[in-house]
Amino acid sequence: MINTIIIEDEQTAADNLIRLLKLTKEPINIIAVLDSVHESIAWLGSNPQPDLIFMDIQLKDGNSFSIFEKISISAPIVFITAFDNYLVNAFEQNSIEFLLKPIDEVAILHTINKYKNLKQHFIHRYKEVANKFKPKRTRIIVKKGIEYQSILLDDIAYFFTEHKITFLVTKEEKKFMLDQNLKELEEELDPQKFYQANRKFIINIDCIKSYKTFEKVKLSLDLRIPVNEDIVISQESAPYFKKWISEV
């Protein structure tokens, strides 16, 4: 859901913008329509920041840039105006788009797609940075019979799943059962050390002996310990694997 506010003093223009946003079929929730500098400052000062703001520049009680002098806004902003002489000022703020009136459905759809792409980019970058500083576990608890043992991650060759059960295999070819699934493991393992080759395997880089082309576009891994099936990396993941193994 994209929680949105509209700052526009012309009722006809506000209604048209609402109509255009609904036409996009995107999950947009318009939580407020404000028509003045004073009302906008009051609302933004007493409510959580929205995900996106559509802001007209000329309002009935002044220029909307004066809002930024009174309150800090972190949300991305789409400025809307009938004049292009405010372009520089707009991009000094959190602007992701500058739309000239009259606006149409194509312009609005382009703007929403731009917002979604930027959001996805920053989410991805945030995860990358967070993973770099997130403490990585150095050992893992495994089950053997009725006992639980502690295994160092450096001693693990690979993880795999079979019949919805997760196992690990050590470099000494010992096999243990785990209580976690591969998705949970991937989030906790050091990405410099382990790579999820496919839905079934997570591999320790120290145990990758070589890789080769498989079916022209895929890759097949050869490990330093025997595995009773091919470990295949898909066509879509192959470029990322090559980049990963060449940089770690």
CB 226 within 8 Å of CB 172:
no
Return the domain boundaries, the chain: 2-132, 139-247
Q: Across residues 174-182, what is the average pLDDT?
A: 90
Distance between CA atoms of residues 16 and 108, nearest Å: 11
Q: Which of 202, 201, 198, 192 has its CA nearest to residue 233?
A: 198
Q: Which of 201, 234, 194 has its CA nearest to residue 217?
A: 234
Q: Across residues 174-191, what is the average pLDDT?
A: 89
- pLDDT digits 0-9 by tens, 83-127: 666 555 655 667 788 888 888 989 999 999 888 888 887 766 656
pLDDT of residue 87: 56
pLDDT of residue 84: 65
Q: What are phi and psi of 135, to 5 degrees?
A: -60, 130
Confidence band (pLDDT; 50, 70, 90) for 135? low
Distance between CA atoms of residues 96 and 78, nearest Å: 6
Rounded percentage of the chain residues whose pLDDT exceeds 70 = 90
Confidence band (pLDDT; 50, 70, 90) for 40? very high
Confidence band (pLDDT; 50, 70, 90) for 196? very high
Burial of 171 (0-12, 13-18, 19+ CB in 10 A): middle
| Mean pLDDT, all residues of the chain | 87
CATH 3.30.930.10, domain 2-132, yes or no? no
Q: Which of 172, 136, 142 has its CA nearest to residue 155?
A: 172
Tokens of 142: 């495994």
- pLDDT digits 0-9 by tens, 7-30: 999 999 999 999 999 998 889 999
Confidence band (pLDDT; 50, 70, 90) for 211? very high
Neighbours of 182 (CB within 10 A): 19
Distance between CA atoms of residues 183 and 202, nearest Å: 10
Distance between CA atoms of residues 182 and 137, nearest Å: 15
pLDDT of residue 149: 87
User: For 139-247, CATH number?
Assistant: 2.40.50.40
Instruction: Please name the residue ranges forming H helices in 57-104.
Output: 67-70, 87-90
CB 100 within 8 Å of CB 81:
yes
Q: Across residues 155-165, what is the average pLDDT?
A: 94
- The length of the chain in residues reads 248
End-to-end C-alpha distance for the chain, whole angstroms: 37
Confidence band (pLDDT; 50, 70, 90) for 128? low
Q: Which of 90, 61, 89, 86 has its CA nearest to residue 78?
A: 90
CB 90 within 8 Å of CB 57:
yes
